[in-house]
Amino acid sequence: MLRLLRNDVSRQCGRTFFDLTHAFRIEARKGTRDYSSCVVPGGLLEGQHLHAGRAKKKWASPEGRLKLLNFLQVNHPHMDASGMTPQWWTAHVEGRLSSLSSTCRVCGFHTVPLLGNIMSGRGFPCVCNGNARWGTRSGFDRLKSILDSTRFAHIDHSAIDWNWWQHNILGNVSKLTVVCRSCGYHAESTTSRLVNGQEFHCLCGSGLRWASRGGFERVKLTLNRKRFQHINHAGVNWNWWQHEVQNNQSKVSVMCRKCGYQIASRICWIVSGHVFNCGCTGNARWATRGGFDRCKAILDNDERFVHIDHSDIDWNWWQHNVRNSRSKLSVVCRACKQNATARLNDVTHKGQGFGCACQNKTERKLLEWLEERYETVEREVGGCRNPSTGRTLPFDFCIRKRILIELDGWLHFCGTDFSGNACDAHPKRDYFKERWAMKTGHVLIRVLQKDVWNDLNDWQTYMLRSIAEAETDTEPRIILPHAAEYKTGIYFDLRAGRKADVATEIFGESEYLGPHRRRD
């Protein structure tokens, strides 16, 4: 019987019975009531639906409502679910992701949790259990009841009214500002801290005002501990403290006795146990002398950089070129004699090397091919600069001073990033570089990376003819191989004027590239 049924389904809609069963299971997981997508075109048996004989009862049914009400009566008797009538249930509930409507009988908080969350045991959020949203009126009432308790009798919170609450409170990390009636200190805290039993930090309470003498003595006591014995904090005296410190965000300036590095750290970090960032700990700021020494130590001792000549990176160069971990280092490869650059963070933390021809095998192959035939070959050629960011957009190679060569990989055409997310930044940069090349009188020759690496489509003949043509004709142009990558997709759309908004965004005017030379 199953075989006859499967054959009948296959004849009617071209799909197997198992495909339809899988589709039914997908609809069942969604928790929807509409299974029309699982109907066989023309009818499985006179137009009937496929049904899973042992499927669980749907939440949208009356049985699902009764099951929930019984669950609430046993586990959440304080919740009023009288509003979930059969009519309301039919109109609002489809599956486990549907929202319920209930009210706490104790505090009157109205909540709309998901059906699946309630059945999995998460409970209803309300003021009684501390899970109410603080930005609501119920959250405001609960906080005011806490502030009215005896432990906050010395706190003046009259400024915290409902109007102030609506404009300042978003969640449990929003800050409250009050005034101590005893010492007049303006103290701050968050709703989560108050609910957890913490106090407001004032001069007469359990807290400590860091600008006071007591705050100074506490920080000095911390700095005298063994873990800070290499720190010279003689300059942090009471006279300096009175002029420089206001709160726990104020910075304390010290010096490391080992490396002589001047360090400034916030009071809140010191008392919480954070170490000082200096050359000894490896946490010095990169723009400082400590950052320079650490980088040079990595370049000198790491096996990844034995072929790298970084003698030009001295302290004078460092002061003018390095600001943070995103600054670029410029070196020379002793093997391929090419200039290479890399971000400081990529070299020191991510374990990456410099992108010279030794590391990029396809570029190295094309570079060696060019050097065999032409006297001077420049690599990573600058000149083109992104107007929005100010960053250089280099070309891969340049010969005869005006002939630029770009090696195109898959990233130039796919319209996505390395993670597969939609991203057209790379094609847009290519488009901008082509415009720049034509406006400055250059000839740009593009060649596919896969052709060079795999020796496909007679790429060497294509390159020789293209370079010869560029040498004899001084007209600026873009020379492309006869490949599908350049005839369709985002590359073609940008240059055919189909995306005028992109042209306007990049150049400030609606213009697109002229005709491209393609070579068969």
What is the number of alpha carbons within 13 Å of residue 418 lying toward its C-beta? 0
Closest CA to 329 of 375, 294, 364, 360: 294
Closest CA to 209 of 182, 232, 235: 182
The helix-helix angle for 2-13 and 17-30 (nearest 10°) equals 80
Per residue in 100-141, pLDDT (tens digit) is 888 878 766 677 888 888 888 777 766 566 566 777 787 888
Inform me whether the pLDDT recorded for 259 exceeds 80: no
- What are the structural domain ranges in the chain? 62-119, 137-195, 213-271, 285-358, 360-520
Residue 381: is it exposed, middle or buried by C-beta count within 10 angstroms (0-12/13-18/19+)?
Answer: middle
Inform me whether the pLDDT recorded for 48 exceeds 80: no
Q: What pLDDT sits at residue 13?
A: 47
Segment holding 256, helix H or strand E? strand 251-256
Per residue in 56-78, pLDDT (tens digit) is 458 888 888 888 888 888 888 88
Q: What distance in Å separates the CA atoms of residue 201 and residue 327, rounded to the nearest whole number?
A: 42
**DSSP code at position 262:** E
Confidence of residue 510 (pLDDT cuts 50, 70, 90): very low
The C-alpha R_g of the chain, in whole angstroms, comes to 35
Contact 518, 480 (CB under 8 A): yes
Mapping DSSP onto H, E and C, the string for 69-116 reads HHHHHHHCCCEECCCCCHHHHHHHCCCCCCECCEEECCCCCEECCEHH
Is the full-model pTM beyond 0.95?
Answer: no
Confidence of residue 226 (pLDDT cuts 50, 70, 90): confident
Closest CA to 176 of 184, 185, 165: 165
Segment holding 156, helix H or strand E? strand 155-156
Inform me whether the pLDDT recorded for 25 exceeds 60: no
Inform me whether the pLDDT recorded for 389 exceeds 80: no
Q: Mention every residue, 6+ apart, whose C-beta is less than 8 A from residue 260.
A: none
Inform me whether the pLDDT recorded for 306 exceeds 50: yes
Per cent of the chain over pLDDT 70 is 74
Closest CA to 495 of 517, 480, 515: 515
Q: What pLDDT sits at residue 423?
A: 64
Maximum average pLDDT range among 95-109, 237-251, 402-416:
237-251
Distances from the Cα of 192 to the Cα of 130, 212, 231, 319, angstroms: 10, 27, 36, 45
Distances from the Cα of 471 to the Cα of 194, 353, 368, 405, 467, angstroms: 77, 36, 20, 13, 6
Contact 160, 191 (CB under 8 A): no
Q: What pLDDT sits at residue 282?
A: 52
Residue 78: is it exposed, middle or buried by C-beta count within 10 angstroms (0-12/13-18/19+)?
Answer: middle
Per residue in 307-357, pLDDT (tens digit) is 788 889 999 888 888 877 788 888 888 777 777 888 887 777 666 677 666
Q: What distance in Å separates the CA atoms of residue 359 and residue 372, rounded to the nearest whole number?
A: 20
CATH number of 360-520: 3.40.960.10
**Ordered DSSP codes for 295-309:** HHHHHHH-GGGTTEE
Q: What distance in Å separates the CA atoms of residue 98 and residue 303, rounded to the nearest whole number?
A: 58
Confidence of residue 464 (pLDDT cuts 50, 70, 90): very high
- Our measurement of the distance from residue 148's CA atom to the centroid of its chain's CA atoms, rounded to an integer in Å, reads 43
